[in-house]
Structure 1
Amino acid sequence: MKKLRFILPLLSFASLNVLNAQTQHGNNLNTLLAKDTSVLTGKLPNGLTYYIQPNAKPGKKVELRLVVNAGSILENNNQQGLAHFMEHMEFNGLKHFPKNKLVDYLEKIGVGFGSDLNANTMFDRTYYILPIPTDNPTNLPTGMQILRDWADGAQISDAEVKAERNVILEELKMRNRNASMRMMNKYLKNLLNNSRYADRLPSGLDSIVANANPQLIRDFYHSWYRPDLMAVIIVGDISKQKGLALVKQYFSSLKAPNNEKKRTFYDVLPYTKDDAQIVTDKEATRYNINISFPATQKDTTRNLGDIKQDLIKDIFSTCLNKRLNLLAQKPNPSFGYASVDLDGSISGFAIQQKNTEIDIAPNKDIKTSIDSAMYAILQVKNYGLTEKEIQIVKNDILSQYENAYNERAKQYSASYTDAYAADFMGGEQPVGISNLYQYIKELLPTITTQDINSFAKTNLINSPNTYTLLTAPDSGNLVLPDSVQLKNWVNEAEAQKVNPYVAADFSDKLISNLPAAGTIVKEEKDAKLKTTTFTLSNKVMVTVLPTTYQNDQILMSGSKPGGSNDLPASENFNATFLTMLSGIMGYGNFTPTQLNDYLAGKNVSVSPNLGDNVMGVSGSSSVKDLNTLMQLTYLTLTSPRRDTSLLDNFKDRVNQILPNQSKDPDVLFSDSVNNFYYHRSPFAPIVLPTVAQINALNADTLVHLYKSLFSTVDGMHFYFVGNVNIDSLKPLLCQYIATLPTDGKIGSLYADNHLRPIEGTHRLDFYKGENQKSNISDKYYGNIKFADDANLKADLLGQILTIKVTEILREKLGYIYSGNVSAGMSQYPYSNYSLEANLPCDPKNVDNILKAYDGILNDMKTNGPSDVDLAKVKKTTLEGFKDQQTSNGYWLSVIKATTFFDKNLDWLLKYPKEVEKVTKEDIKKIAQLLIANNHFTSISYPDKK
């Protein structure tokens, strides 16, 4: 099972601190952690590490991973960017898969390039991801051969290196050429105290990538891709014995290079002085203050004392950040956001180090924001946290571990692999959820308020040497200090006097007064779906499907006809943000923070949803928290909370950010495209709101609108799927669902506000920004009669076109790093379709790409797909469907589709056969049908010179 820091983001291992207390385990905290017996770990004689874990979900699939303990940090000066280049070369010619045969083979067995097959390069690690379907017995041995070829069989031919250069440069333009990266390049050396990490970003140097020397790539590969720096991970439908036999068969002969280089680990040296820096960019959209404390070494986790110390650290940091969040929600807050991270940004660079950092998003005045955030932090350092705050977080931790333990036999194989990769890089052994849950149950009660507050005194603001960074727009509504002022402000804030914290209390009941319970007036069984449907006394229907796909999960969804399309244009803005704003103001007697505290220790969530033609509520819970799920559902539908202070707080924060959003080229491009596409209709989706629209938000208006939409449940149909006991559910339905009010008015699935995209053929060229990158969006759309089989064919067409885009625009022409095409149909409020390509690229290649893409479309209309490409997308689709069938979410969508949307149940149940019977001629015909009618091409460019 994933380890503590990976199962629950709330928790992370900290420094070794052996304590003297005893646990119920009967062992001293010096006791070494038990080994996870569910996974077989070990090393081959050549030094290669392996992790093998049998796992049943999903069936007939094995997740393979190759982890290389080497990344960009090991590059020589003339290799910067070539660790990442080497990762690319693993897909461009292997010993047993020359040129592009690897991707071709994997697509044929249902493994999608990018979506399934993938890799990534970091500072210290390179990671290869390969899921293998095992329905064909030859697949798994071939998958192991691919891992072996990645390890030492890459061809790295001169021709393939030359062909791949442009692809990598396009990737770097797409990912790294923006305001955030430009600012990072200015401050990174200071943040990392001139560490080697500042000069070894995985993206490298464009000049080296553009002229990549094949021999330098080979040198990196042969130096660092070696067995003592590698781990093979196998998780899935396989026995330990078979997995080990495969590892030995394919990797025992792997040899280390002669005169192998020492694998050096690099550090970030602690700051030796106070420093500050202001970095601006004309396209930056936010202000942010980061106060970084000196780097320290991470400690591996070996014993119970380590886990206890780690729990102390994370209880403390969670409580502290909740305090800061409460301050940000107060009227006229001094900052928009603040947090303390005890595993700060340095830990994202240096694999063996960590640091503490404070992040603050200033609001109106930078000095006041720093003072206010630091005041709250000093309150905790000087006066500590309350027992109630601590207990709330302890309850949450225990609840999350209980759920993870209950689901230990139902985890997907891919959920284990990242944890084992981290274990390998950190030099730690897997512990397993069964052991961890036992440790957590025993250790949490032994952690006292004094433990937490002692930790705060020792670990908060514990060094006079800090690096403070302010990033900001180069022209905005806040007055920027110089670096000396900024440094002085931080020092003054740290020296201020503070008073003890006074905690606010909140209600101890979700619902104060409930009406008398209703009744179940009808019960029906569906033999084909194995569902039970109840009709309640208020005419609400409830369909229940008990499953065993997860041990501790119940999914709930309630939907009724109607939605934003029933509203006039004057309500479009309120409707767009209604459910978000209701969450910001809270429900019943609870603010959002108070509600989270009340629900601590419970695994439950509920949220409203408002679509164009359907609205309702959705949620989930553990088995033991079903009662709370029902109460929370009732509260969410009936009791929106009016809170002008929280709403004004939200408006202040948005108004702080909004003026700078107009500097973001991507946001402006999306807004311009949206306005053009919907010809500025008052019903158009809102991309970039105005300050006037935000300021016009009114708590009374929002609550009234919410109640008019959600407080009555006429036409509502609820669904419960998961490990739900029907007999236990019945009385809860009577109390919390049958008592929901009705008024006799039922909305329509077909309510139509007549919002339509612009007709005809149009092209929009948009110029904004200094980054030399473009994005092409090419869309065909129009009215069409909806049919399930036609929608399936459209989806397959989009997948086939994506293959052709990758094959031609990326691999053959080198114009793009990634691109995709999607196609589909919608039924409500009117039947329509769209086929859209997104193709990020270099501006100089736009016209060539459009010409080549047009050729791809014309060929598809004229000739249809190849047999090979059609077989690939069918196999990939069926592999995805196979995985979906073992999830509660999939079956929730099925029963909802057939009972609420009147979909054909037989068609859904025979979906694999429907996929298999699609022919080349079907795809050709659907292409001819969809690549027609209205055509809108929008292209972003950098500023005209």
Structure 2
Amino acid sequence: MKKNLHLIAVGALSFALAQPAIAQKKVPAKTPATKTAAKPAASQTLPNDPNVKIGRLPNGLVYYIRKNVEPKNRAELYLGNKIGSLMENEDQLGLAHFTEHMAFNGTTDFPKNEIINYLQKAGVRFGADLNAYTGFNQTVYQLPIPTDSAEVFKTGFKILANWAGKVTMDGKEIDNERGVIVEEDRQRGKNAQQRMSNQLLPFLLGDSQYAKRIPIGKVEVLQNFTHDKIRNFYKDWYRPNLQSVIAVGDFDVNEVEKLIIANFSELKNPANEKARTYYSIPDNVQPLIKIAVDKEQPYNVAQVIYKQKQGPLKTEADFKLQMTQNMVNNMLAARIAEITQKGNAPFLFAQSSYAPYQGGLVWDVSALQTVAVAKSGAELKQALVAALAENERMAKFGFTAGELETVKKKMEAGIEKQFKEKDKTKSAAYVQQYLNNFLIGAAIPSAEYTYELSNKLLQQITLADVNAAAKAMVTKTNQIVVVQAPEKEKENLPTEAALLAAIKTAGNGVTAYVDNTVNKPLIAQAPKAGTIVNETKNDKVGVTTLTLSNGVKVVLKPTDFKNDQVIFTSFGKGGASLASNDDFISAENANLIAQSGVGDFNPTQLTKYLAGKSVSAGAYIDDLYQGFSGNASPKDLETAFQLIYARATNPRKDAEIFNKNISDFKVITANKGSNPSSVFADTVQAVMANYHKRGMPTTLADIDKINIDKAYAFYKDRFADASGQTFVFVGNFDVEKIKPLITTYLASLPSLNKNENFVDNGVNPPKGKVSKTVKKGLEDKVTVQLLFHDDYVYNAENNVMLDALKAALDIKITERLREKESGVYSPGVSLSVQKNPTAHYYFTISFNCAKANAEKLINAALEEVNAFKNNGVTTEDLQKFKSEELRQEELSLRENGYWLNYLTNRLKYGDDIEQVLGNTARINGVTVEATKAAAQKYLNGDNYIRLVLLPEN
């Protein structure tokens, strides 16, 4: 539940947190900008990585090329444009983003949607792989593409060149896309967050170009602009001297350079170039304060932003400063987390973190951002003061030597891990570095240089350095205070004067931090080791299976996909399904025991104990299973095993942490009714559970029944018998070397040989046709979910057929609702399947739209489903499915995460562990005729659920 609160709070704040990276002003302000900690006058510039080839064509286009074999037979191709919405004229608001859309709607060499069509046939997924985005300062196109087909690979550069200078801007296509972009605005907005953003933007952005050039633009412009406006924008700004091509992947660098020269040299800059103006942010001497309320805002949130000027990382001094700032962030976060766990914590959630300039939405702004979420408006000032007090505490007294030692251990482990994986770095990671180099001039040092410099600086950075950086973050000027709260709390909120007083007096009376550590071993006494009683090998999938003396099974798959990673999970049947209806709510929250630490270590103390180690291991209890999961560097595997053993045998019962979580959960539950999406989600949950008591959303009355003693007892009971546990380990380990850890820590787990199973408590979706409409929300925004579901025979053959139907139906729904009807932005078709407790499949068609179009679009979606039943999948769409699926399979088979999930599911469900070997044949074996029969069977509509969220009026 704590995790849920954190996500909700951060999600609610995503707008406000972004603002320091948004606001700019064309003319520098007269007041002096706040500076960060002073740097040496001269500092060595970080050298570029010699493994990347950087060049410039005569027309000004810059290119970056690097050979990288992770993943094999793949490349990441990017087109970076140093232009965005800031370049728009008053009659072009939103057209930078609109231009990005038009790049997929017809170019000289690829008419209409042929780019998407061609790439899908080559196995590139639209949206998931092929994509683009537009910001204030940049527009970026991304194209991951196979390199084992010379024709496809060469065509990738042709596509980039068409985006760069050959978009046709056909008038009919422009008009068709208007509705799609209006619907994008509806899907992403039309909610409390957007309405409060509209209140806050003029305030946060001030008299700047940013305030006038929000990338989505204005609906009235999008609906009515004449075609020449967008054609002029493209002609003026899409030019080679503002563009870069980035290519990283498994290819020959010299051949790629030839392809770039051949495809991009003919592009020309306009004769009369418009100046590319850059903008600055206004400073403020006195704090700026703004309170925004909304009927649908669920939480009381206060934020203080301390703006600063800090450029991109270019020199060793920059590197040292950012490293020091990262240390401050880590230590400050640990202090706030420690407070949050206490029963008398003054806030539901708090966060304080310095974001150094990384080339985000705005190109020269950094900020310390402090957020506090309170239970009520009346408590908001107290919550904010408590969060700000931690800023003041670190500014006045600094950090302790113990805290610095802990954070240095953490960073040293991270540096070591990153360096060990340098030859397994994904191409996409390099692309982002080179993009930042092109856009903002950020350095791109090599992995070796970064490793050596990081280790050198880690030794050099002193407590004085850290404390100076911390003090510099808490500025006395350039402060902005923002409050976002429910409208019903308006009268209870602190006034602007009270907020001003809060930031001025938050440091009154603070004292130095006292470091609270536990100097004990994780396990007081080494357990009595068990034995391995059986061992089998399956060379076809590279798996060794061990049976231990206490009944535990361990499945081992060593890999070379990562140099410094071992991941694991386990499962045993039972889970919360074994709890009675009366005790179910306490059993369901037994996971709070796992979140309370272990043994003598509360979560904060455990974090400090593990500093310097790259390891995590937690316990879980879900509806049908209980077990453990985590990861570790090979060198820290023993600690991972110790954590498993400790969580199983010595759980921590911490009433303060448990009750704090329950108290927070009550606030979340009490407030969520104001949010239309939450109300709809609760309705969906209830309908899908057919209103079964155990499947209903949690109420305040339910929370009152949660009992720590029952939760603790249930947790202990679930882990009292390890004989039913199956562990799966995947990663870089040696089977023989890991065996002693297995016998010591897993074979010694308690065993009662209960031979337990989960219970089917009858939480199933309703049969037949069901329709449920919810009326909630102020805006013209409708959410639709159409579900087709039923029991079925769960096996690999049926599952691949369901996958084929899902992929092809997704294409058809997108073509109909987005391209033809122009009524939605991103409709989706999802598929979920389960084997336990009963085998069941769910197809869900989902989209957002305007109320006036809802019924028309629902009918259109159902028409596509009926066409599927009559005709099956088209030959072309089936080809796209097979190409995309087989391409993803190639990548997945080189991922530890894929194998962990695959092996766990096969073992859970009693399937053939060699099933993966037949995947390619099964995919290729799907025929058009077979999909027609499958569509008639799985999409027959006998069990159909229609769920719709309408606005209140």
Q: TM-score band (shorter)?
A: over 0.9
Q: Which amino acid aligns with 1:737?
A: L
- The residue aligned with 2:13 is none
Q: CA deviation at 1:220?
A: 1.3
Q: Which amino acid aligns with 1:470?
A: V
Within the candidate set 299, 314, 317, 1:286 is matched to: 299
Alpha carbons 2:393, 2:510 under 8 Å: kept: yes
- The residue aligned with 2:713 is 704
Q: CA deviation at 1:549?
A: 1.1
Matches of 1:108 and 1:846, distance apart in 2: 32
The alignment yields a C-alpha RMSD, in angstroms, of 2.1
Matches of 1:835 and 1:478, distance apart in 2: 46
Q: Does 1:410 align with 2:424?
A: yes
Q: Which amino acid aligns with 1:716?
A: Q
- The residue aligned with 1:386 is 400
Matches of 2:833 and 2:669, distance apart in 1: 34
Deviations 1:62-103 (A, max 9, x none): 111111111111111111111110010000011101111111
Deviations 1:221-278 (A, max 9, x none): 1111111211111111112211211111111222111111111111221113233121
Q: CA deviation at 1:899?
A: 4.1
Q: Secondary structure at the match of 1:312?
A: helix
Q: How does 1:524-535 map to 2 (within 5 A)?
A: 524-535=536-547
Identity of aligned residues (%): 33
Change (3 A) 1:340 1:530: closer
Q: Does 1:266 align with 2:275?
A: no
- The residue aligned with 1:26 is none
Q: Secondary structure at the match of 2:635?
A: coil
Matches of 1:573 and 1:419, distance apart in 2: 47
Change (3 A) 1:347 1:555: closer
Q: Secondary structure at the match of 2:825?
A: coil
Q: Secondary structure at the match of 1:910?
A: helix
Matches of 1:325 and 1:754, distance apart in 2: 39
Structure 1 length normalisation: TM-score?
0.94
Alpha carbons 1:562, 1:614 under 8 Å: kept: yes
Change (3 A) 1:823 1:927: farther
- The residue aligned with 1:312 is 324
- The residue aligned with 2:452 is 438
Q: Which amino acid aligns with 2:900?
A: L
Matches of 1:643 and 1:776, distance apart in 2: 43
- The residue aligned with 2:470 is 456
Deviations 1:288-343 (A, max 9, x none): 111122x4332232322221122112111221222122122222111222222322
Structure 2 length normalisation: TM-score?
0.93
Alpha carbons 1:52, 1:244 under 8 Å: kept: yes
Matches of 2:393 and 2:685, distance apart in 1: 47
- Out of 485-494 and 631-640, give the one that drifted further: 485-494
Q: Does 1:214 align with 2:227?
A: yes
- The residue aligned with 1:609 is 620
Change (3 A) 1:861 1:510: same
Within the candidate set 895, 916, 926, 2:924 is matched to: 916
Q: Secondary structure at the match of 1:570?
A: coil
Alpha carbons 2:589, 2:706 under 8 Å: kept: no
Alpha carbons 1:288, 1:472 under 8 Å: kept: yes
Q: Which amino acid aligns with 1:124?
A: N
Q: How does 1:759-774 map to 2 (within 5 A)?
A: 759-774=767-782
- The residue aligned with 2:643 is 632
Q: Does 1:537 align with 2:549?
A: yes
Within the candidate set 807, 821, 831, 1:823 is matched to: 831
Q: How does 1:464-863 map to 2 (within 5 A)?
A: 464-476=477-489, 479-494=492-507, 496-579=508-591, 581-684=592-695, 686=697, 689-748=698-757, 751-863=759-871
- Out of 872-881 and 52-61, give the one that drifted further: 52-61
Alpha carbons 2:199, 2:292 under 8 Å: kept: yes
Q: Secondary structure at the match of 2:845?
A: strand
Change (3 A) 1:922 1:823: farther
Change (3 A) 1:499 1:889: closer
Matches of 1:514 and 1:34, distance apart in 2: 50
Alpha carbons 2:359, 2:436 under 8 Å: kept: no
Change (3 A) 1:347 1:897: closer
Q: Which amino acid aligns with 1:145?
A: K
Q: How does 1:47-446 map to 2 (within 5 A)?
A: 47-293=60-306, 295-343=307-355, 348-364=360-376, 365-446=379-460
Alpha carbons 2:835, 2:909 under 8 Å: kept: no
Matches of 1:692 and 1:442, distance apart in 2: 57
Matches of 2:584 and 2:327, distance apart in 1: 42
Q: Which amino acid aligns with 2:858?
A: L
Q: CA deviation at 1:928?
A: 0.7
Q: Which amino acid aligns with 2:175?
A: K
Q: Secondary structure at the match of 1:138?
A: helix
Change (3 A) 1:854 1:264: same
- The residue aligned with 2:4 is none
Change (3 A) 1:492 1:896: closer
Alpha carbons 1:320, 1:340 under 8 Å: kept: yes
Deviations 1:583-615 (A, max 9, x none): 431111111121112111211111223333332
Deviations 1:504-551 (A, max 9, x none): 222431111233222222222223223222222212121212111111
Q: CA deviation at 1:652?
A: 2.7
Q: CA deviation at 1:824?
A: 4.6
Change (3 A) 1:862 1:737: same
Within the candidate set 858, 876, 895, 1:868 is matched to: 876
Q: CA deviation at 1:900?
A: 4.3
Deviations 1:104-132 (A, max 9, x none): 11111111111111111111111111111
Q: Extract unaligned runs of 5+ from structure 1.
A: 1-11, 21-28
- The residue aligned with 1:3 is none
Deviations 1:647-670 (A, max 9, x none): 222223233333221000011011
Q: Secondary structure at the match of 1:186?
A: helix
Q: Secondary structure at the match of 2:618?
A: strand
Q: Which amino acid aligns with 1:756?
A: N
Deviations 1:716-738 (A, max 9, x none): 11121111112221111111001
Q: Secondary structure at the match of 1:83?
A: helix
Matches of 2:597 and 2:887, distance apart in 1: 41
Q: Which amino acid aligns with 2:752?
A: D
Count of residues paired in the alignment? 918
Change (3 A) 1:571 1:800: farther
Q: Which runs of 4+ in 1 moved over 6 A?
A: 344-347
Alpha carbons 2:873, 2:932 under 8 Å: kept: yes
Matches of 1:703 and 1:159, distance apart in 2: 64
Matches of 2:141 and 2:89, distance apart in 1: 23
Q: Which amino acid aligns with 2:768?
A: G
Q: Does 1:891 align with 2:899?
A: yes
Alpha carbons 2:786, 2:846 under 8 Å: kept: yes
Deviations 1:168-221 (A, max 9, x none): 111110002110111011112222233221221111111111113221111111
Q: Secondary structure at the match of 2:810?
A: helix
Alpha carbons 1:794, 1:824 under 8 Å: kept: no
Q: Which amino acid aligns with 2:649?
A: T
Matches of 1:623 and 1:761, distance apart in 2: 53
Alpha carbons 1:57, 1:410 under 8 Å: kept: yes
Alpha carbons 2:36, 2:308 under 8 Å: kept: no
Q: Secondary structure at the match of 1:775?
A: strand
Q: Secondary structure at the match of 2:590?
A: helix
Matches of 2:809 and 2:145, distance apart in 1: 24
Q: Secondary structure at the match of 1:374?
A: helix
Matches of 2:443 and 2:517, distance apart in 1: 43
Q: CA deviation at 1:17?
A: 4.7
Q: Secondary structure at the match of 2:492?
A: coil
